[in-house]
Amino acid sequence: MMSRQLYSVTGNSQKLDGGAMFGNAPKAMWARWVSVDEQNRIDLGCRALLVREQHGDSVRHILFEAGIGAFFEPRLRERYGVVETEHVLLASLAAIGVRPEQIDVIVLSHLHFDHAGGILAAWQQGAPMQLVFPNAHYVVGQEAWQRALQPHARDKASFIPGLTELLAATGRLERVSNAHSVLLGEGYRFHHSDGHTPGMLLAEIDMPAGPVVFCADLIPGTPWVHIPITMGYDRYPELLINEKRVLLDDLIHRNGRLFYTHDPKVALSGLSRDETGKYSASAAAAELVALAS
């Protein structure tokens, strides 16, 4: 019989402009939810989700995203507000007894640097860019892959030059165009979203107490559960709002939960909707340690 445990895994953190993160919402509104520094930046996490599957003596580790990592050279690290210089994700995995070579599958919702950069080794002067998980297979959406190959001028800077070549060269890349992955198998499915970037994959994991969805940049953290709140980085905010409403209604109906990659304080929450129709996060958890229900 197969068992499945979920762990939240901390990666490198970021500080980004609050106005950009909250789109057209006025600061008077979003400043009630988060604090800002002297540069108007807010704290953001880059959290990954590790699934440890055990079937008899066989163990499989699946990593959902890898955060921003530490691949940036110092000038770009400063520009994009990356706080730590070391590769925090690797240290966090080590703390729960997982070495890089033990990661079997990495699922990337899309290929923006703050979601895929952690699959790269930390920057070193003069060293070539290289992948840090030597045995991992990679899952990415076909449309998100094409966007990385041919980005629009609006988001070209969000992609890592040379990353697609490194991934393709492994021979361990699956590009999915529907709701299921051959690599992942049963117990996993994808919701597709285009509002933030074309073809973003929102992975759903079957759990006994109800599904857990890695909601990526559709809902970066608990403040964005509120339907009208979007980011300035989103490609089509109105489409994103529609996608968000459909997902939240579905998950409320099925007792689903959301896993947040960018919320600095909350890893997982349930969902509620009040009598006015407003959605909010409920039963928030700061971290997951061997969640099995």
pLDDT per position as a tens digit, 195-253: 999 999 999 999 999 999 999 999 999 999 999 999 999 999 999 999 999 999 999 99
Which CATH number do you get for residue 145?
3.60.15.10
Residue-wise DSSP of 257-285: EEE-SS-SS-SEEEEEE-TT--EEEEEEE
The proportion of the chain whose per-residue pLDDT surpasses 70, expressed as a percent, equals: 100
Does residue 292 form part of some domain? no
The H-assigned helical ranges of 142-212 are: 142-149, 163-170
Does residue 290 form part of some domain? no
**Bridge partner residues of 107 (DSSP):** 64, 139
Does residue 92 form part of some domain? yes
Phi, psi for 166 (deg, rounded to 5): -65, -45
Query: Would you state the pLDDT for residue 2?
Result: 86
The total domain count for the chain is 1
Query: Would you state the pLDDT for residue 6?
Result: 98
In tens, the pLDDT along 238-271 reads 999 999 999 999 999 999 999 999 999 999 999 9
Does residue 61 form part of some domain? yes
Query: Would you state the pLDDT for residue 1?
Result: 80
In tens, the pLDDT along 141-187 reads 999 999 999 999 999 999 999 999 999 999 999 999 999 999 999 99
Residue 27 has pLDDT above 90, yes or no: yes
For residue 91, the enclosing domain spans 2-285
Q: What's the whole-number average pLDDT of the chain?
A: 97
Query: Would you state the pLDDT for residue 52?
Result: 98
In tens, the pLDDT along 43-63 reads 999 999 999 999 999 999 999
Does residue 246 form part of some domain? yes
In contact, 129 and 166? CB cutoff 8 Å: yes
Query: Would you state the pLDDT for residue 192?
Result: 97
Mean pLDDT over residues 103-124, rounded?
A: 98
The proportion of the chain whose per-residue pLDDT surpasses 90, expressed as a percent, equals: 99
